[in-house]
Amino acid sequence: MVDRLGGKISQVMAQLQALKEENEVLKNDLMNQQTQNEAYRGQIERLEADNAAKEREIEEIVNKIESILG
């Protein structure tokens, strides 16, 4: 009975260790994804700023054309 209980405890401890290791891998994956998301956010912000600048340029060109055409 004691041997059987010891075996069960060993199994539970092994499962606990495996879950801890899997949890660590998942934490690392999450951190990597968060870092990548931050990089993407930065890219999106730059693209949005570029897009806004281009829209202002287009509006200025349109205004010049309208003023020329009268």
List CB contacts of 38: < 8 A, sequence separation 6 or more.
none
Q: Tell me the C-alpha to C-alpha distance, in Å, between residue 46 and each of 18, 19, 35, 41, 42.
A: 42, 40, 17, 9, 6
pLDDT of the residue at 68: 94
Instruction: Find the Cα–Cα–Cα–Cα dihedral 14, 15, 19, 21, rounded to 10°.
Output: 20
Report residue 62's pLDDT band, with 50, 70 and 90 as the boundaries.
very high
pLDDT of the residue at 70: 78
When computed from its CA atoms, the radius of gyration of the chain, rounded to whole angstroms, is 30
